Amino acid sequence: MAANIFGRYVWLIEQFRRYGRLTYEEVNDLWHRSGLSYGDDDDLALRTFHNHRKAIFDIFEVEIACDIKGGYKYYIDHPEDLEKDNLRIWLIDSYTAMNQIQADRKLKGRIIFENVPSGHKWLNVITDAMRNNQVLTVTHQGFGKPEPWYFDIEPYYLKVVKRRWYVLARSPYYSNRNCQKNKEDGGDRPKDVFLVYALDRILDCKPTGSTFRMKEDFDIDEYYRGCCGIIHSKEEPIRVVLKAYNGGPDYLRTLPIHESQRELVELKEDEASYFELTVRPTFDLYQSLLAQADQIEVLEPASVRNEMRNFAKNLMSYYKEERQ
């Protein structure tokens, strides 16, 4: 029996993601061959299998249902909901890789993970505060700032982008200030102000002892609709058309810049392929476009194309050839 019970749950989910419908006997056979068991005599007992199904539902909200009429075959109910949940898929995929290493010690040291170095020390504090709706007091020093700032936050969401952890939080200070100014001048400023803070810029973080209530009408998907990374924008998403050269099309097909990306197959040429995105023109978008180097060209709109031209001019100024 494997020592890591959580790893067994993840292994079981992965079998159904991979093979679809399986009988208990087929699951047991896969268990014998997984490398996580202790050999042919180490069965995944039927009672244990059913206990795992219950635990998987409790922990991951993944229901492994049974098709009695179809020959007692088990399957993940509504697998599309699971595949859309980035956090659950990330956890499952990460643990699946760990299971593979555990199953074959020969692979130890030969699977290299990308380290996410920023802000690990604050994750437990922030997740605990999120779980209990606790207000946090933060000491934060932004890049290029001579002095740190001290303020309270109501942590709503954690997000990792390009190897950095961020917390999206409601700011009590700015929210209250907006409400006060609206009373004074009849303005229409947002009554709830949400800001994003990188964990690697937090010097200290601890609970204040106060609690808050999450705004039920706050929609994280709408907040980041059309955004490519962590930066939020009030601008509406716009259509961006790209022309990809050389190996660029394959990179875009296998790792889209944004979930809205689609290939314009009707415009395909021998030398290039075309893609469109519906995105907000934030700095994150430009970073993602610039990361493609000379493999892509922005065709439209003119505003995004001109901004890319400005970046290119700045880069060229850094790399002017020295006269002999």
What pLDDT digit, counting tens, does each position of 87-107 carry?
Answer: 788 888 877 777 776 666 656
The pLDDT mean for the chain works out to 89
Residue 2: count other Cβ atoms within 10 Å of its Cβ.
19
CATH annotation of 238-318? 3.30.70
Between 8 and 74, the more confident residue is: 74
Angle between the N-to-C axes of helices 5-19 and 46-60, in degrees from 0 to 180, rounded to the nearest 10: 90
What pTM was estimated for this model as a whole? 0.74
Rounded to whole angstroms, the Cα distance separating 32 from 15 reads 13
CB-CB contact of 255 with 285 (8 Å) = no
- CA quadruple 196, 202, 206, 209: dihedral positive or negative? negative
Q: Please report the pLDDT score of residue 318 as a whole number.
A: 93
What pLDDT digit, counting tens, does each position of 180-221 carry?
Answer: 999 999 999 999 999 999 999 999 999 999 999 999 899 999
Q: Please report the pLDDT score of residue 33 as a whole number.
A: 81
At residue 37, the 3 state secondary structure works out as coil
Cβ neighbourhood burial of 112 (10 Å; 0-12, 13-18, 19+): exposed
What pLDDT digit, counting tens, does each position of 286-322 carry?
Answer: 999 999 999 999 999 999 999 999 999 999 999 988 7
Q: Which residues lie below 8 Å from residue 51, measured CB to CB, with a gap of 6+?
A: none
% of residues, the chain, pLDDT over 70 = 92
Rounded to whole angstroms, the Cα distance separating 273 from 297 reads 11
Q: Is residue 14 over pLDDT 50?
A: yes
249 falls in which pLDDT band (50, 70, 90)? very high
